[in-house]
Chain A
Amino acid sequence: MRDVAVVGFAQRQMKELDGSPTCLEILVPILADLYEQTGWTKSDIDFWCSGSSDYLAGRSFSFVSAVDAIGTLPPVMESHVEMDAAWAMYEAWVKIQTGEVDTAVVYGFGKSSAGILRRILALQLDPYTAQPLWPDTVSLAGIQAREGLEKGLWDEAAMASVVARSMSDAASNEWAIRRGATSVEDVLAQPLYADPLRRWDCAPVSDGAAAIVIAAGDKALQARQRPAWITGFEHRIEPIALNARSLVESSSTAAAGTAAGTAGVDLAELHAPFSHQELILRSSLGLADDVRVNPSGGALTANPMFSAGLNRIGEAARAIWAGDSDKALAHATSGPVLQQNLVCTMEGR
């Protein structure tokens, strides 16, 4: 295996992007940030890979317009996944492993506010017996949360403490949409919205984009003194039928975590768009109590579709660059109620 590291990361997210669903307006400055961080130019990047969805943009081949942000004359080597960009990064990492390329920029973007996000996401369900009912994301998460509550796997206070910690930690994250010092009591004082969920239990609808630079070996050291070296990178998927798997545990996260290796992790950025999902992820990964979880505030404070998972990798890498973590774990999820999960572990050397 080639040693590959994360050496650049930039993000932008907001409640409502005043711009087009191609997100060009924010992708251009994000890429400019990355060139500044690495000291590289477009010609230093061997491979480009993005994650986005036409269902969010409401137009076909929307990712093709976003390619304008790169500048593609002379032509570049490029690919795309209709998943969170964390999976685009997996593709780029595999591409580097083949030896064909040494560097890659991975980006994700989406303007969730253009439509009704929780409704549009019903289109990722089984098209025969589930999607025709238009089960929205929040309702499915509510069913999942109640099952855990009533089975005694977690309680309201545990969910509220995830919310309170996330919003308090996000106070120092300039890109968080929902932030500020918050106590468990503050959370529990909020009315129920999608009983058993409060609005704060659900990630805010977020627009945004993010990008990461990964590079192999010496190239990585050229761009950054203390790169975040990838030590494990795995993803797993569970059945689409909601009654074919347990919703209150995440066997795919557990399998990806075991394969990637979680020993020695001191920090974890978990992509949990609902408070109780963080509890599921923590227990599926078997994280020790002293592991710092989501110091950035996590997806509960900003969840831009198709980049929120990549943001977890970027935030974890940043902690390593800064020396705040020696080994960090980043997790991304995609699909309904934690159907697909990815784990990426990184370390500083």
Chain B
Amino acid sequence: MKVEFDYTRSLGSVLSQFMSALKQHSILGGVLADGRVVVPPPEYDPVTHAAVTELVPVSDFGVVQSWSWVAEPVAQQPLEKPFAFAQILLDGADAPLLHAVAVDSPADISTGMRVRVRWAEQPTGTIRDIAWFEPAGDAVTEGSASMEFGAPEVTGMTSPVRLAYDYAASPEETKFFRGLAEGKIYGQRCPKCEKVYVPPRGACPVDGVPTTDEVELPDRGTLTTYCVVNVPFQGQTIPIPYVSAYVLLDGADIAFLHLILDIDAADVRMGMRVEAVWKPREEWTTSLDNIKYFRPTGEPDADFDTYKHHL
């Protein structure tokens, strides 16, 4: 399962200037009340808590203060091959910057080693404009690129976050999803209150005990409550108006949400008897999508008393 989101963040005055400078290949440090220059510049002095207002350029050369070898890099780190993360004290700064150092092996890096910035090819106005650091050898800094102070160019940034999970289904969910692939619907009964839950949930939310008894349920039931969707939204695949409804399968104690079609939205009503319309068998997977929608059975409506406790 993949979870992805591009966080967009606005920047305050300090970070706007810092990121704008990075885009121009210059690094700014913040001057604290005690005169120390800190990179990245904090927005507030950690001791006096006063806003940091003075920013000064520091060198793009520096010294490794401490480091750790990254033998197995993870996604989105600065380098895909093994590298070092290091605390780097830039010339002109009094506190270290955390960043990557590109070397081939742990033998090629040591505390005290001089390193220099390798700038990213495409400036983005983020900390990633410093692609990584590399050994400086005998090179000396040419000084920061000249930069224009003024209204900062960069006032926001985007942080793409991509996470991957191996999502294991619980034993009850496994049974449920495997059942769907066979066209069957399985729920579970609480041994204490005897309520039947579908989809099954592992523990009875009333009694807090494992739901152990398996129950096969029919694919028909009663519509308990519903709403008519009249509002168009991005990605909508069904023409409006259509009906989303809670369907209480016969024998179950929990209704679940599904789509109601094959009926004019205006004719849908509470208590209406409905049945599942399955996709063609060859398209079945371990998913609730195997049921395309529910449609009216034509049976007389269920009596209110039969579902009033399930609303």
The answer to whether B208 touches A71 (Cβ under 8 A) is: yes
Given the known A-B contacts A58-B3, A146-B111, are A42 and B208 also in contact in the complex, defined by CB atoms under 8 Å?
A: yes
The answer to whether B106 touches A136 (Cβ under 8 A) is: no
The answer to whether A68 touches B9 (Cβ under 8 A) is: no
The answer to whether B106 touches A192 (Cβ under 8 A) is: yes
Question: Can you name the residue of chain A whose Cβ is closest to the Cβ of B132?
Answer: A133
Residue B260 interfacial (CB < 8 Å): no
Q: How far is it, in angstroms, between the C-alpha of A196 and the C-alpha of B243 when the chains are bound?
A: 61
Segment touching A, from B145-153, B159-167, B284-292: B159-167
Q: Which residues of A contact B100 (CB under 8 A)?
A: 133
CB within 8 Å of A: which B34-84 residues: 38-40, 42, 46, 65-71, 74-78
The answer to whether B98 touches A242 (Cβ under 8 A) is: yes
Interface residues on B, range: 35 or more
Q: Which of A20, A133, A134, A197 is within 8 Å of B75, CB to CB? A: A134
The answer to whether B203 touches A28 (Cβ under 8 A) is: yes
Q: How far is it, in angstroms, between the C-alpha of A71 and the C-alpha of B86 when the chains are bound?
A: 49
The answer to whether A136 touches B165 (Cβ under 8 A) is: no
The answer to whether B1 touches A58 (Cβ under 8 A) is: yes
Number of A interface residues at 8 Å Cβ cutoff, please give it.
63
Q: Which residues of A contact B170 (CB under 8 A)?
A: 19-20, 22, 24-25
CB distance from B189 to the nearest CB of A (A): 15
CB within 8 Å of B: which A1-25 residues: 17-22, 24-25
Q: How far is it, in angstroms, between the C-alpha of A140 and the C-alpha of B206 when the chains are bound?
A: 44
The answer to whether A68 touches B205 (Cβ under 8 A) is: yes
Residue A204 interfacial (CB < 8 Å): no
CB within 8 Å of A: which B153-192 residues: 157, 159, 161, 163-171, 173
CB distance from A57 to the nearest CB of B (A): 8
The answer to whether A133 touches B70 (Cβ under 8 A) is: no
Q: How far is it, in angstroms, between the C-alpha of A311 and the C-alpha of B23 when the chains are bound?
A: 47
Q: How far is it, in angstroms, between the C-alpha of A25 and the C-alpha of B99 when the chains are bound?
A: 41
Q: Which residues of B contact A119 (CB under 8 A)?
A: 74-75
The answer to whether A132 touches B126 (Cβ under 8 A) is: yes
Q: How far is it, in angstroms, between the C-alpha of A5 and the C-alpha of B178 when the chains are bound?
A: 47
Residue A127 interfacial (CB < 8 Å): yes
The answer to whether A68 touches B15 (Cβ under 8 A) is: no
Q: Which of A71, A134, A139, A196 is within 8 Å of B203, CB to CB? A: A71
Given the known A-B contacts A58-B3, A132-B128, are A18 and B68 also in contact in the complex, defined by CB atoms under 8 Å?
A: no
Q: Which of A71, A111, A133, A193 is within 8 Å of B71, CB to CB? A: A193
The answer to whether B46 touches A68 (Cβ under 8 A) is: no
Residue B271 interfacial (CB < 8 Å): no
CB distance from A255 to the nearest CB of B (A): 15
The answer to whether B157 touches A197 (Cβ under 8 A) is: no
CB within 8 Å of A: which B107-135 residues: 111, 126-128
CB distance from B33 to the nearest CB of A (A): 13
Question: Can you name the residue of chain A whose Cβ is closest to the Cβ of B14?
Answer: A128
CB within 8 Å of B: which A226-262 residues: 239, 241-244
The answer to whether A130 touches B98 (Cβ under 8 A) is: yes
The answer to whether B40 touches A129 (Cβ under 8 A) is: yes
Q: Which residues of A contact B302 (CB under 8 A)?
A: none
Q: Which residues of B contact A263 (CB under 8 A)?
A: none
The answer to whether A71 touches B207 (Cβ under 8 A) is: yes
Q: How far is it, in angstroms, between the C-alpha of A134 and the C-alpha of B171 when the chains are bound?
A: 34
Could you give 16 example pairs across A and B, Cβ below 8 Å?
A: A19-B170, A20-B168, A24-B202, A28-B209, A67-B205, A68-B202, A68-B205, A69-B208, A71-B208, A118-B74, A127-B7, A132-B126, A142-B69, A145-B68, A146-B111, A192-B106
Report, nearest first, the 10 A-B pairs whose CB atoms are least far apart. A142-B68, A71-B208, A58-B165, A195-B69, A129-B40, A119-B74, A20-B170, A243-B95, A139-B85, A24-B202
**Interface set of B (CB-CB < 8 Å, partner A):** 1, 3, 7, 9, 11, 15, 18, 38-40, 42, 46, 65-71, 74-78, 85-87, 95-100, 106, 111, 126-128, 157, 159, 161, 163-171, 173, 201-210
